[in-house]
Amino acid sequence: MFDYLIVGAGFAGAVMAERLASCDNKKVLVVESRHHIGGNTYDYYNDDGILVHKYGPHIFHTNSRDVYDYLSQFTAWRPYEHRVLASVDGMLVPIPINLNTINQLYGLKLSSLEVNNFLASKAEKKDRIITSEDVVINKVGRELYEKFFKGYTQKQWGLDPSELDASVAARIPTRNNCDNRYFTDTFQSMPLHGYTRLFERMLTHPNIKVMLGTDYKEIEGLIPYKKMIYTGPIDYFFDYCHGKLPYRSIEFRFETFETDRYQPTGTVNYPNEHPYTRVTEFKYLTGQKHIKTTVVFEHPKALGDPYYPVPRPENAELYRKYQLMANNKQNVFFTGRLATYKYYNMDQVIAQSLTLYKKIALITKNERPTNGQKLPSYES
Ligand SMILES: Cc1cc2nc3c(=O)[nH]c(=O)nc-3n(C[C@H](O)[C@H](O)[C@H](O)COP(=O)(O)OP(=O)(O)OC[C@H]3O[C@@H](n4cnc5c(N)ncnc54)[C@H](O)[C@@H]3O)c2cc1C
């Protein structure tokens, strides 16, 4: 009998498996429907021997020392600060928009103070900020909105920014300095030997068994377990009884070129004229030396693997119905991006699972030896 059945071998599931096995000596079965561990962070060497990320580029960054220290048990790191350029008006300019972006785009030599005034003069103040369009126009004005955000958002979401929650654009910064980094977190680095190797080390424990290529519903009732940690889609768990939660998907098109470098930085965004949203060259991220180079073109689409929950009020409402059912489910804990229908970065998912583990450990300790008592479901 397993103590825990863990559905999903991404970060949410792997953290739970590792903690429960290593700290509490629990016997754990991890069931994963794909044929590999690592969830969406899975990386592998392609036919040319270049390390690529199967489900799009994953750059690790966090402000949490706890998360960084936790992962450091399973990997050494390669310092890496991601930089992104946007292809706008025939130029490649830094994004998020900063002092360099404005000076390059408009052929100016503004100072930090002057760029604040410049952006303020462009901004169109809105009384009510409801949509993503409102957020951006209120901050930088219509011209920059159309150059950088409108087309990108339309491609990314299949919706106009005026149809998307303000929250989608609210976290996009603008800077009045020359900091060209994409992220400003305290810890920015990549697992030295890749994510898959990191996961292998997390899951190598005598108490952890991993079953790949298996949907958990195929083995339910056949393999006994006491409790479940569920990291798959929450609507699937409840057989879509309230309907399907909408997601945006992406087609990843990989291409290898007979050249050392394809583009001047890790990622180039294409907000406007191209069908894809961005192109990422993996060697920048991984630091690999190779005479060839592989890039991935991202083509957002409606159908396919669930990647981005679509942030609209009606979808949040639908999720709340499932969340209510999850809260009433005995001995099943929901964690991770699919089970909580929220876009999370890797560090947030890891933090979420570490917190859930602590709660379970505490409850188990406090309740011992009382049997039959209901454990509360996790709420983020
Ligand atoms: C294109 C893209 C780029 C990203 N880039 C970054 C980045 O640069 N930095 C960053 O911090 N974050 C990034 N993220 C977010 C990152 O992918 C997530 O934070 C992370 O993968 C979430 O881990 P998870 O375990 O919750 O989900 P997942 O990694 O999706 O793992 C869930 C696993 O559960 C499995 N599963 C689902 N249903 C079942 C079932 N019924 N039975 C068995 N198994 C099942 C799935 O196959 C999957 O492997 C990106 C996401 C996307 C989509």
Domains of the chain, earliest start first: 2-80+188-244+308-367 (3.40.50.720), 100-170 (no CATH)
Name the residue with tokens 């060839």: 292
Ligand 1 pocket residue status of 231, Cβ below 6 Å: yes
| Atom 42 of ligand 1: nearest residue by CA position | 215
Cα of 151 to ligand 1 centre, how many Å? Answer: 26
The answer, yes or no, to whether any atom of ligand 1 lies below 6 A from the CB of 349, is yes
- Cβ(309) – ligand 1 distance below 6 Å: no
Structure tokens at 194: 């890749």
Residue 186 CB partners (closer than 8 Å, separation 6+) = 62, 63, 65
The residue whose CA is least distant from atom 12 of ligand 1 is 345
Closest ligand 1 atom to Cα of 250:
1
Please indicate whether residue 58, judged by its CB atom, sits closer than 6 Å to ligand 1. Answer: yes
Q: From atom 53 of ligand 1, which residue's Cα is the shortest distance away?
A: 307
Q: Are strands 267-269 and 84-88 parallel, antiparallel or unpaired?
A: parallel
Atom of ligand 1 nearest to the CA of 344: 19
Ligand 1 atom nearest to CA at 337: 26
Distance (Å, rounded) from C-alpha 336 to C-alpha 328? Answer: 18
In angstroms, the CA 341 to CA 322 distance is 10
Q: Which of 15, 231, 350, 357 has most ligand 1 atoms within 8 Å of CB, for mutation?
A: 231
Distance 28 CA to ligand 1 centre (A): 20
CB 169 within 8 A of CB 159: no
Q: Give me the DSSP letters along 138-185.
A: HHHHHHHIIIIIIHHHHHHHSS-GGGSBHHHHHT----SS---BS---
Q: For residue 204, with 0-12 CB atoms within 10 Å meaning exposed, 13-18 middle and 19 or more buried, which class applies? A: exposed
Query: What tens-digit pLDDT sequence spans the chain (380 residues)?
Result: 999 999 999 999 999 999 999 999 999 999 999 999 999 999 999 999 999 999 999 999 999 999 999 999 999 999 999 999 999 999 999 999 999 999 999 999 999 999 999 999 999 988 888 899 999 999 899 999 999 999 999 999 998 999 888 888 877 788 999 999 999 999 999 999 999 999 999 999 999 999 999 999 999 989 999 999 999 999 999 999 999 999 999 999 999 999 999 999 999 999 998 999 999 999 999 999 999 999 999 999 999 999 999 988 899 999 999 999 999 999 999 999 999 999 999 999 999 999 999 999 887 777 655 444 444 433 33
Q: Relative to the CA of 55, which ligand 1 atom is closest? A: 1
The amino acid at residue 221 is G
Q: Are 187 and 61 in contact (CB under 8 A)?
A: yes
The alpha carbon of 155 and the centre of ligand 1 are apart by a number of angstroms equal to 21
Specify the pTM: 0.93
Helix, strand, or coil here: 42? coil
293 DSSP β-pair partners: 257
Return the structure tokens found at 378: 């996790």
Q: How much distance in Å is there from the Cα of 114 to the middle of ligand 1?
A: 42
Q: Find out whether the beta carbon of 187 lies less than 6 Å from any atom of ligand 1.
A: no
Contact 249 CB / ligand 1 (< 6 Å): no
Strand partners, 301: 249
